[in-house]
Amino acid sequence: MKRITLFIMMAVAIASHLSATLSPQEAIDRFVANPSLRYASVGVQLISLDSMRSVASYRPEQANITASTMKTVVSSAALGLLGPHFRFETPVYLDGELKDGCFKGNIIIRGTGDPTLGSVFLPDQANIVTEVVNALHEWGIRKVEGAVIGDDGYYCFPYFDEDWDVGDLAFDYGAAVHALSFHDNLMTVNCTMDSRGRVSKSTITPPVPGLKVLSRCRASRGRNAVTAYLDYSVPALVFTGETAARSFNDTYANPTPAPMLVDSLERAIKASGIHYHQDLYTRDNLDHAETVLLALHKSPELTEIITSLLDRSDNMFAHALLRAIGARDYETKGLEAMPSDLDVIGVAAVKHWLELQGVDTEPLFMRDGSGLARANKASVNFFGDMLSMMAHRRFDGVRLCDLMPKASGRAGKTLKANPLSDKIVLKSGSMRHVQCYVGYYPADEPQYAFAVLVNNFTCSQASIREQIGTFLCHLFESMED
């Protein structure tokens, strides 16, 4: 028994030694030889940042679905085109007349694409609702006779990218990008279904005036298989499928965030002691109406937005950056009304900027800023070139790698338990049959950039994450010596 135990220990030690001394190409070859990748589309690239050349690779020119690794592309372009200190601005106007502390007219919140308004993920930013209420008090306004108007007209419909799967749009990860966003364009719906499959009671938090919660479900005695979709024409959140009488509480995408913001501001105005009488005014009702700036809300700086969206893989934040890039490109031509194909304009601007930096964009098939569309594809050669370029670029001292999250538990348990987890920064991307990673090693002063794109594996998502994490350990452990 002792001999068997000793033999096992020696075998483990030898295997560990061999793993630690694998060359980069040997590590890649071992990884792609896994049976679960037999039918997969796999691309792997390792770039030396000193020489800007490939150290080892596998099918580097093959374009694969990128999932959320596409967020590094739009983040890079945003740093270059908008600048690290860029802030979204949301002006709030008084349109009416003020006399003796009574304002008669409308309070207009003009959205310009800021995705962070009221975000629960950036709690330290200034609160636009509080800013407006404070400004009303500073102006000496004790009474408002008029209406709060949320101007969401800066962007055209559709608010989502045309390549997004319609089945994703109702869920938290599929929240659309509006000119006037609020509360991450998310809402919590508490809903009770009766025995016929109809909605007997529903509440939305925060409230969204005008939004309906409907059911198209079939009644079922013991089966609960419910999904949801958004009907923008009503507007409504619609449940479909089969259900027995039940109650549930879930988070969904909010198709009309402007009314949510308006309602939140109206309630805050009343709670602050200002008398609020809702009555929509037109200029014909007023003798001396004028439009003046009441408050100007500014978002956190771009670096903080990018850090948050890369860490949480926020599709709405990322796609908002693409639209901001497209809007900037459009406005430089002296045009104001945003076109319905703003996403296409944004993609063209991103690719043009990358090309000016010397990055070949021919292997980049970009459809949105988030990677939510399965039509997003790129080769690991592209990612290697882009990451290499960004490793040598600083934007007022900020590098892309400074904004990327540590590997931690994002690539399986083996890497999480390895000290390397704090020495690798990466962006992951996953969807059905897709698992991807791009990043840098070591984190503080990168010497290597890497990209791993895997499509159509036959194992579980957890298993492929573990395989890639173990591969990254093999790839970089020998470089620790």
Q: What is the tens place of the pLDDT at every residue in 382-419? A: 999 999 999 999 999 999 999 999 999 899 999 999 99
Of 70-84, 140-154, 211-225, 464-478, least confident by mean pLDDT is 211-225
pLDDT at 287: 66
Residue 93: phi and psi, rounded to 5, are -115, 150
Distance CA 166, CA 160 (A): 9
Share of the chain above pLDDT 70, in %: 93
Q: What is the identity of the amino acid at 197?
A: G
Q: What is the identity of the amino acid at 225?
A: A
Per DSSP, what are the bridge partners of residue 159?
none
Question: Which of helix, strand or coil describes residue 84?
Answer: coil
Tell me: pLDDT of 176 over 80: yes
HEC readout, 357-425: CCCCCCCEECCCCCCCCCCCEEEHHHHHHHHHHHHCCCECCECHHHHCCECCCCCHHHHHCCHHHHCCE
Contacts of residue 233, defined as CB under 8 A and 6 or more positions apart, other chains included, come to none
Contacts of residue 245, defined as CB under 8 A and 6 or more positions apart, other chains included, come to 193, 194, 195
- Provide the pairing of β-strand 212-219 with 236-243: parallel
pLDDT at 5: 44
Tell me: pLDDT of 235 over 90: yes
Sequence ranges of the chain with CATH classification 3.40.710.10: 24-84+303-480
Tell me: pLDDT of 283 over 50: yes
pLDDT at 337: 66
pLDDT at 14: 37
Question: Which of helix, strand or coil describes residue 44?
Answer: strand
pLDDT at 335: 58
Whether 320 and 115 have beta carbons less than 8 Å apart is answered as: yes
Distance CA 230, CA 235 (A): 7
Residue of 80, 163, 84 lying closest to 352 (CA atoms): 80
Contacts of residue 5, defined as CB under 8 A and 6 or more positions apart, other chains included, come to none
Q: What angle do CA 327, 260, 191 make, to 5 degrees?
A: 125
pLDDT at 224: 81
Average pLDDT over residues 122-139: 96
Tokens of 128: 């636009």
**445: confidence class by pLDDT, cuts 50, 70, 90:** very high
| Helix 342-356 / helix 315-331 crossing angle, nearest 10 deg | 80
Q: Please tell us whether the domain made up of 89-155+258-298 is placed in CATH 3.30.70.270.
A: no
Tell me: pLDDT of 453 over 50: yes
Sign of CA dihedral 74, 381, 439, 375: positive
Tell me: pLDDT of 279 over 90: no
Tell me: pLDDT of 298 over 70: yes
For 181-220, give the DSSP string.
--GGGEEEEEEEE-TTS-EEEEEEES--TT-EEEEEEEE-
Residue 424: phi and psi, rounded to 5, are -120, 130
The verdict on whether omega for the bond into residue 60 sits within 30 degrees of 0, i.e. cis, is: no
Distance CA 421, CA 442 (A): 10
Q: What is the tens place of the pLDDT at every residue in 194-220? A: 988 899 999 999 999 999 999 999 988
End-to-end distance of the chain based on CA atoms, in angstroms? Answer: 35
Average pLDDT over residues 21-45: 95
Sheet holding 41-48, edge to edge: 53-58, 41-48, 448-455, 434-441, 425-431
How high does pLDDT run on average in the chain? 92
Average pLDDT over residues 411-434: 96
**22: confidence class by pLDDT, cuts 50, 70, 90:** confident
Question: Which of helix, strand or coil describes residue 173?
Answer: helix
* DSSP-assigned letter for residue 285: G
**440: confidence class by pLDDT, cuts 50, 70, 90:** very high
Sequence ranges of the chain with CATH classification 3.50.80.20: 89-155+258-298
More confident residue, 26 or 289: 26
Q: What is the tens place of the pLDDT at every residue in 322-361? A: 999 999 888 776 656 678 889 999 999 999 999 999 999 9
Tell me: pLDDT of 90 over 90: yes
Instruction: State which fold the 24-84+303-480 domain adopts.
Output: Beta-lactamase (3.40.710)
Whether 229 and 169 have beta carbons less than 8 Å apart is answered as: yes
pLDDT at 6: 39
